[in-house]
Amino acid sequence: MNFSTVHSRRLVWAGSLTAVVGLMSYAIYAERVLYLDPCPLCITQRLFYIGIGCFALIGLLSVRRLRMQQIAAGLMALMATGGLVTAGRQVWLQHLPADKVPECGPGLAYWMENEPWLRTLSLLFKGDGNCAEVVWTFLGFSMGEWSFAWFVLFFVVALVMLFKQRHVRA
């Protein structure tokens, strides 16, 4: 696929945005219908997905402007990197021996009410014992592992969009 054409770039941005909408929709479904409470790392990953979706939308709306395409792709890669770090930490916690898993924390609502903002942010990125619990799998992979795979895909897409755009052709 030639990523220099407006049509192919539009498809990639729209596909990325559609994937984020689908992932976030399933996250809400899992929380509200399946009653799976998101852990701190899951919440952080959702924020990175929203960032990816916002930059995919910017890329889609500015498909004929090379500089905006590069900015959107660069920022999408940055969001995907943050997602990779948090999903990677969750997968690491899930694979720790039971005696090495950190203790569970009181939860995000408590942190937000009783901890300073920066401490709460730090706790969101570190996670706790809740993040190590695997309560959902699909094809043998946990939600954290699937999330990691999606962030890898978004990172690759962002890099391709960043470096494969030399000129704009209709």
Q: Which two tokens stand for residue 162?
A: 């960043």
Residue 93, both tokens: 């916690």
pLDDT score of 105? 59
Kindly give, in sequence order, each residue whose CB lies less than 8 Å from that of residue 135, ignoring residues fewer than 6 positions away. 36
DSSP code of 134?
Answer: -
pLDDT value at position 169? 46
- Going from N- to C-terminal start, the domains of the chain cover 6-163
Please name the fold of domain 6-163.
Answer: Bromodomain-like (1.20.1550)
**Full-model pTM:** 0.82
CB atoms within 10 A of CB 11: 15
- Give CA–CA dist 1/161, Å, rounded: 12
Mean pLDDT of the chain: 83
Percentage of the chain surpassing pLDDT 70?
A: 73
* 23, 150 Cβ separation under 8 angstroms: yes
Only one residue has tokens 């209709």, namely 170
The C-alpha atoms of residue 9 and residue 168 are separated, in whole angstroms, by 10
Task: Say how many residues make up the chain.
Answer: 170
Q: What is the pLDDT of residues 31-76, one digit of tens each?
A: 999 988 888 888 889 999 999 999 999 999 988 888 899 999 999 9
Give the integer Cα–Cα distance in Å for 68 and 53. Answer: 15
Q: Measured between alpha carbons, how far is residue 105 from residues 19, 31, 93, 135, 145 in Å?
A: 31, 19, 14, 17, 22
Lowest mean pLDDT among 2-16, 93-107, 155-169: 93-107
